[in-house]
Chains A and B, each alone.
Chain A
Amino acid sequence: MSPVHLGIDIHKKEQELKEIFTNCSDVTFRHVQIDGESVITMVYIDGLVNIDILNSALLKLSFEGVPEGLGDVGTSGEALMQQIVAIAETKVATSLQAVVDGVLNGNVAILILGESDALLAKLQGFDTRAIQEPNIEYSIRGPKESFTESLKTNTSFLRRKIRSSKLKLQSLTVGELTRTDVLIAYIEGIAQDSIVGEVINRLEGICTDAILDTSYIEEFIEDSPFSPFPLIQNTERPDIVAASLLEGKVAIIEDGTPSVLILPMTLWSGLQTPDDYYERYMYMSFVRLLRLFMVLLALFLPAFYVAVSTFHPQLIPANLLYSIISAREGIPFSAVGEALIMEFMFEVLREASNRLPKQIGSAVSIVGALVIGQSAVQAGIVSAPMVIIVATTGIASFTIPRYSMGFAFRLLRFPILILGSIFGLYGIVLAALVMIIHMVTLHSFGVPYLAPVSPQVFYSLKDTLIRAPRWMLRKRKPFISGRDNTRLPAGGKAGKRSDSKNDQKK
Chain B
Amino acid sequence: MKKVNLTGIQIFWIIVSFQCGNTLLLTLSPNINEAQQDAWIASIIAGALGLFIAYVSTKLSLLFPGRTIVQYSQDILGKWLGKLIMIPYFIQWYSVLGVILKEFSDFTILTLLPRTPIWILTITMVLLLMYMTYMGGIEGIGRCSELLGPFIVLMIILILPLNIQVMDWTRILPIYTDTGIAHIFKGALTPLSFFGEVCMLTMFISFMKKPTEGPLRAILGLSVACFLLTVSSLFVIMVFGPGLSAKMAHPFFDMVRFISFGGFIENIDVVIVLIWVISVFIKMSLYFFISCYGTAQWLHIKNWRMLIWFIAPIILIQAWLYPDITLSDIGYVTKYWIPIVLPVNMFGIPLLLWFVASIRKKYANAH
Q: Point out residues on A near B: beta carbons under 8 Å.
A: 311-312, 314-315, 317, 423-426, 429-430, 433-434, 436-438, 440-441, 448, 450, 453-456, 458
Give chain B interface residues in 135-157, CB to chain A under 8 Å: 135-136, 140, 143-144, 146-148
A–B Cβ pairs within 8 angstroms, 11 of them: A314-B266, A315-B270, A317-B264, A425-B270, A426-B112, A429-B277, A433-B132, A433-B281, A441-B140, A454-B143, A455-B9
1/0 contact string of B322-333 vs chain A (CB within 8 Å)? 000000000000
Q: How far is the CA of A438 from the CA of B131 in the complex (A)?
A: 9
B58 interface hit (Cβ, 8 Å): no
B352 interface hit (Cβ, 8 Å): no
Other-chain contact of B146, A311, A437, A441, A456 (Cβ < 8 Å): A456
A315 adjacent to B268 (CB under 8 Å): yes
B135 adjacent to A433 (CB under 8 Å): no
B113 interface hit (Cβ, 8 Å): yes
Chain B residues within an 8 Å CB radius of A317: 263-264, 266
Residue among A314, A434, A441 facing the most chain B CB atoms (10 A cut-off): A441
Other-chain contact of B147, A312, A424, A430, A453 (Cβ < 8 Å): A453
Chain B residues within an 8 Å CB radius of A436: 144, 147-148
A314 adjacent to B267 (CB under 8 Å): yes
User: What 13 additional pairs, Cβ within 8 angstroms, besides A311-B113, A453-B147, A454-B146?
Assistant: A312-B270, A315-B270, A423-B116, A426-B113, A430-B124, A430-B128, A433-B128, A437-B135, A440-B147, A448-B143, A454-B144, A455-B5, A456-B9
Minimum Cβ distance to chain B for residue A7 (Å): 57
Chain A residues within an 8 Å CB radius of B278: 429, 433
Chain A residues within an 8 Å CB radius of B136: 437, 440-441
Other-chain contact of A455, B7, B112, B132, B270 (Cβ < 8 Å): B7
A426 adjacent to B277 (CB under 8 Å): yes
- Counted as pairs of residues, one from A and one from B, with CB atoms less than 8 Å apart, the total is 79
Minimum Cβ distance to chain B for residue A207 (Å): 26
Q: Point out residues on B near A: beta carbons under 8 Å.
A: 5, 7, 9-10, 108, 112-113, 116, 120-121, 124, 128, 131-132, 135-136, 140, 143-144, 146-148, 263-264, 266-268, 270, 274, 277-278, 281
Q: How far is the CA of A317 from the CA of B267 in the complex (A)?
A: 9
Other-chain contact of A437, B10, B144, B267 (Cβ < 8 Å): B144
Nearest A residue to B145 via CB reads A454
Q: How far is the CA of A311 from the CA of B116 in the complex (A)?
A: 11
- With A317-B266, A454-B146 already in contact, the answer to whether A434 and B131 are too (CB < 8 A) is yes
Chain A residues within an 8 Å CB radius of B143: 440, 448, 450, 454-455
A425 adjacent to B274 (CB under 8 Å): yes
Q: How far is the CA of A30 from the CA of B2 in the complex (A)?
A: 60
5 cross-chain pairs, A with B, having the tightest CB-CB distances, nearest first: A314-B267, A454-B143, A440-B143, A454-B146, A441-B135
Chain A residues within an 8 Å CB radius of B266: 314, 317
Chain A residues within an 8 Å CB radius of B113: 311, 423-424, 426
Chain A residues within an 8 Å CB radius of B10: 455-456
Q: How far is the CA of A317 from the CA of B9 in the complex (A)?
A: 39
Q: How far is the CA of A7 from the CA of B355 in the complex (A)?
A: 89
Nearest B residue to A448 via CB reads B143
- With A434-B131, A440-B147 already in contact, the answer to whether A424 and B112 are too (CB < 8 A) is yes
Q: How far is the CA of A456 from the CA of B63 in the complex (A)?
A: 27
B132 adjacent to A437 (CB under 8 Å): yes
Q: How far is the CA of A450 from the CA of B148 in the complex (A)?
A: 13
Q: How far is the CA of A424 from the CA of B315 in the complex (A)?
A: 25
Chain A residues within an 8 Å CB radius of B268: 315
B108 adjacent to A426 (CB under 8 Å): yes
B144 adjacent to A440 (CB under 8 Å): yes
Minimum Cβ distance to chain A for residue B6 (Å): 9
Chain B residues within an 8 Å CB radius of A423: 113, 116, 120, 124
Chain B residues within an 8 Å CB radius of A426: 108, 112-113, 121, 274, 277
Q: How far is the CA of A314 from the CA of B143 in the complex (A)?
A: 34
Chain A residues within an 8 Å CB radius of B132: 433, 437
Chain A residues within an 8 Å CB radius of B7: 455-456
A437 adjacent to B140 (CB under 8 Å): yes
Nearest A residue to B275 via CB reads A429
Q: How far is the CA of A453 from the CA of B266 in the complex (A)?
A: 32
Chain A residues within an 8 Å CB radius of B116: 423
Chain B residues within an 8 Å CB radius of A450: 143, 147
Q: How far is the CA of A441 from the CA of B131 in the complex (A)?
A: 11
Q: How far is the CA of A441 from the CA of B138 in the complex (A)?
A: 11
Q: How far is the CA of A430 from the CA of B112 in the complex (A)?
A: 13
Minimum Cβ distance to chain B for residue A195 (Å): 15
Nearest B residue to A426 via CB reads B112
Minimum Cβ distance to chain B for residue A479 (Å): 12
Q: How far is the CA of A192 from the CA of B278 in the complex (A)?
A: 37
Chain B residues within an 8 Å CB radius of A453: 146-147
Minimum Cβ distance to chain B for residue A198 (Å): 13
Nearest A residue to B120 via CB reads A423
Chain B residues within an 8 Å CB radius of A440: 136, 140, 143-144, 147
Minimum Cβ distance to chain A for residue B261 (Å): 11
B112 adjacent to A311 (CB under 8 Å): yes
Chain A residues within an 8 Å CB radius of B264: 317
